[in-house]
Structures are given as structure tokens and as C-alpha cells.
């Protein structure tokens, strides 16, 4: 049964064994940290502090301010639908709105010392997601206007109009309810009619909530701690290998917590029908396959609003793929360097290095060797970037242990 030639494919027990071993291997570390340091974060004190002085939470205030950009986008679309402003003026408003979405939180995070790196990363993540969503909102509504103008010039079919009565059509989608459903929905690509599930399954919802709480506890217990000092290359390599395993576990737990538990939790609450948030990236035999399947919402957005438009404008496939990786590298650096308040370009260079790595793996490695190369790049590549940022962050802020 363990032979690759066997037709046996049911290894569910092995997966359960891995889960049990993961829990047991981290239970000791969790108890040790609890006994040594106690409960470092009291949720009751956190809530009471926020209620007493909400202005001491600038990151939360920044997230609330993001509603202004949502209203600007909705107001612009309504004016465009009524014909009060031209397409050119609407485009200029969108360019200004989307530019401010990226620049405004960056300036606040850099200028306001009270925002912690965690708070800054969370805020910038929210604004980045909002940027991608509103860009998709702009594109889809523009396509709808073009389609409406084309239909106005040609006779309409009664059967087509009757079958659309149960669906939202443009410009009936330009409402606050529709906009905020899209803002909270676990997708980056806007649609006038999202697939919807029939009801909310409370059992499914509670399981995802339990997974979120358990995974957050695991993330807290697995965090690596080491003292950074002047090191030679051999000591640096030893620190890198020591960091690799816990960093990889943190990444895997984060993936499961965010892409499976959290996104399914939100989707179930909103009765959002499209649950394809990831595919079998763990079977990736090429770097390209991994990036296409580990984060489906971002991949669909890049394909729909960036890659295919470049192809339609005459750009080649290689140039379009390179442009997508460049944009991804920019946002990775944006989400890391700004909260840390230092610009070292490690995340940017790490993403751009995926291009030659993808070419090498696709050309020279196949099957299990390619899959091993993908796993090795995840296990070793990420800790290298983390170690570089820690190495640069420590002498600047001094109190990192």
C-alpha cells in the first residue's frame, strides 16, 4: 500500500497522526511558556483599555477611516451611471482615490510612533485588500457600462430580460448593501451576483471558530526566540536552520487559520458560495504552480485585472508574468518595510528571485524533485528573509530578544 505503484489513496489516518504529533510536540512548549511567563495578554484588560481610550489604538482608527474611500468609490460609480461625469473624470477620481488608499496609511504609520509593527502590518493589509477590491469594483462597473451601451444599440431579447429578473443588474448594484457585502466577502474580484449558499450551517461555523482559536494559540506557542549577535557564516547558517522549522510551522498554521478557517468562517456568515480559496499547492512540482494555487483570491485578481489586460494590450506572456511578480514584490515589501519603518528590499528581492527559480525548477527538475525544490524554497527561503529583517531591525530598535 505504501508503494507509489499502488492504487491505494486513503491516507486519512496518516494525516490524523500528523495532527496529533503536531499538537503533542507543541503542547510542552506551550506549557513551558505559560509556566515561565504566565498570561502575557489579558483580553479583558485589552477590551477595557480600548473602551476607555479608543484613540490610543491608532491602527483601529485608521481601519475605520478606510470607509471614506469606499464612499468615494460608490459615489463616483453612481455619478458615472447617471452620466453626471465623464469616464475620463471618473478615471481621474479613481486614480486619486486608489493612490491615497496606498499612501495615506503608509504616511500615518511612518509618522506616528504609537503604531506598533503588528498594528501597522494589519492596517496596511486592510488597505491593500481594499485597494484590490475597489480596483476590481471599478473595472467590473466599467465593463457593465460598456455592455449596456452595446445592448442599447441592438434589439433586446425578451427571454434574456426575463431570465435576469431574479438577478441584480447594472446600475441596481450601486447600493451601500451591495458595496459592503463585497468589502466583507472573502474575494477580491467583484461580481454583480455572487454565488450564495442556502443557509448558515451553525456546526460548520463553530468548527471554523474553534479552529481559529486553536490555531492562534498554536501561533503564539511556536514563535521562535533567539539572541542575535555578531556571527560568522557557520553560526549564521546554524541560526537559519534553527529558525527554519518553527518559521515553517508558523507559516503552515497561518495558512490553515487564514485561508481555511477564517475565510470559510466569513463565507459561511455571509452565505458566500464560492469556497475555492486554495488548491493543492502542496503537490506543486513547479514554482509557478505553487503561486497559482496557494492563494486563489489573489491569483484570480491578478489574472482578471492585471495579466489578461496586459496580454490584450500586446504584451508577451513572459513580460506579463514578470509584471505580476513585480507587483507582488512591491506589495510584499510594502507590507513588511513600512510597519518596520525600514527599507531593505529583502521581501522585494525574495519575490523577484522567484522568477529565475521558477525557470530553473521547470527546466531541470521534474516530479518529486520539483516538489522537493518547492518545499525547500518555502522552508529555507522564508527564514532567510526573516533573518535579514531581524538582523537589520535589531541594531536600530535595540530591544529585540
DSSP 168-183: --TTTT-SHHHHHHHH
Q: Which of 167, 248, 260, 332 is catalytic?
A: 332
Residue that has been written with the C-alpha cell 529583517 in this structure: 389
Residue that has been written with the C-alpha cell 537559519 in this structure: 240
Q: Under DSSP, is residue 272 helix (H, G, I), strand (E, B) or coil?
A: strand
Which of 370, 348, 190 lies closest to 287, judged by CA?
Answer: 370
Residues near 344 by beta carbon (within 8 Å), at least 6 away in sequence: 337, 388, 389, 392
CA pair distance 341, 355, nearest whole angstrom: 27
Q: Under DSSP, is residue 201 helix (H, G, I), strand (E, B) or coil?
A: coil
Burial label, 221 (beta-carbon count in 10 A; 0-12, 13-18, 19+): middle
Cα 234 to Cα 223, 231, 238, 370, distances in angstroms: 23, 8, 6, 28
Residue 66 has phi, psi (to 5 degrees) of: -60, -20
332 flagged as catalytic: yes
CA pair distance 267, 270, nearest whole angstrom: 5
CA pair distance 142, 190, nearest whole angstrom: 12
Cα 259 to Cα 152, 203, 264, 294, distances in angstroms: 42, 19, 8, 9
Record the cell numbers describing residue 285, joined without a space: 512540482
Which of 248, 274, 252, 247 lies closest to 263, judged by CA?
Answer: 274
Between vectors from CA 268 to CA 262 and to CA 272, what angle results, nearest 5°?
Answer: 105
Active site residues: 332
Amino acid at each position: 500500500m505504501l508503494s507509489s505503484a499502488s492504487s491505494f489513496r486513503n491516507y486519512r489516518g496518516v494525516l490524523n497522526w500528523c495532527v496529533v504529533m503536531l499538537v503533542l510536540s507543541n503542547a510542552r512548549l506551550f506549557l513551558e511558556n505559560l509556566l515561565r511567563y504566565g498570561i502575557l495578554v489579558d483580553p479583558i484588560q485589552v477590551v477595557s483599555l480600548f473602551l476607555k481610550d479608543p484613540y490610543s489604538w491608532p491602527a483601529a482608527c485608521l481601519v475605520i477611516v478606510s470607509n471614506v474611500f469606499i464612499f468615494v468609490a460608490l459615489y463616483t460609480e453612481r455619478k458615472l451611471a447617471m452620466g453626471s461625469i465623464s469616464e475620463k473624470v471618473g478615471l481621474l477620481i479613481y486614480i486619486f482615490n486608489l493612490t491615497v488608499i496606498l499612501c495615506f496609511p503608509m504616511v500615518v504609520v511612518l509618522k506616528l510612533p504609537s503604531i506598533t509593527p503588528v498594528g501597522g502590518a494589519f492596517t496596511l493589509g486592510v488597505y491593500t485588500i481594499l485597494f484590490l477590491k475597489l480596483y476590481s469594483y471599478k473595472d467590473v462597473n466599467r465593463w457593465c457600462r460598456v455592455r449596456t451601451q452595446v445592448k442599447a444599440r441592438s434589439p433586446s431579447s425578451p427571454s434574456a430580460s426575463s431570465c435576469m429578473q431574479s438577478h441584480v443588474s447594472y446600475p441596481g448594484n450601486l447600493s451601500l448593501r451591495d458595496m459592503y457585502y463585497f468589502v466583507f466577502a472573502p474575494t477580491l474580484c467583484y461580481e454583480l451576483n455572487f454565488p450564495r449558499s442556502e443557509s448558515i450551517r451553525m456546526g460548520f461555523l463553530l468548527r471554523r471558530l474553534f479552529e481559529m482559536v486553536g490555531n492562534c494559540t498554536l501561533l503564539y506557542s511556536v514563535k521562535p526566540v533567539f539572541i542575535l549577535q555578531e556571527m560568522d557564516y557557520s553560526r549564521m547558517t546554524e541560526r537559519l536552520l534553527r529558525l527554519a522549522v518553527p518559521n515553517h510551522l508558523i507559516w503552515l498554521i497561518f495558512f490553515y487559520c487564514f485561508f481555511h478557517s477564517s475565510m470559510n468562517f466569513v463565507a459561511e456568515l455571509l452565505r458566500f458560495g464560492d469556497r475555492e480559496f486554495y488548491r493543492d499547492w502542496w503537490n506543486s512540482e513547479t514554482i509557478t504552480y505553487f503561486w497559482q494555487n496557494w492563494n486563489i483570491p489573489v491569483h484570480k485578481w491578478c489574472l482578471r485585472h492585471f495579466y489578461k489586460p496586459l496580454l490584450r494590450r500586446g504584451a508577451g506572456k513572459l513580460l506579463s508574468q514578470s509584471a505580476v511578480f513585480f507587483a507582488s514584490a512591491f506589495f510584499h515589501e510594502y507590507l513588511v518595510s513600512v510597519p518596520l519603518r525600514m527599507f531593505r528590499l529583502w521581501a522585494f528581492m525574495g519575490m523577484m528571485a522567484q522568477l529565475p527559480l521558477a525557470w530553473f525548477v521547470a527546466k531541470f527538475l521534474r516530479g518529486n524533485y520539483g516538489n522537493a525544490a518547492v518545499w525547500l524554497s518555502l522552508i529555507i527561503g522564508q527564514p532567510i528573509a526573516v533573518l535579514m529583517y531581524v538582523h537589520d531591525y535589531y541594531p536600530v530598535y535595540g530591544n529585540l530578544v
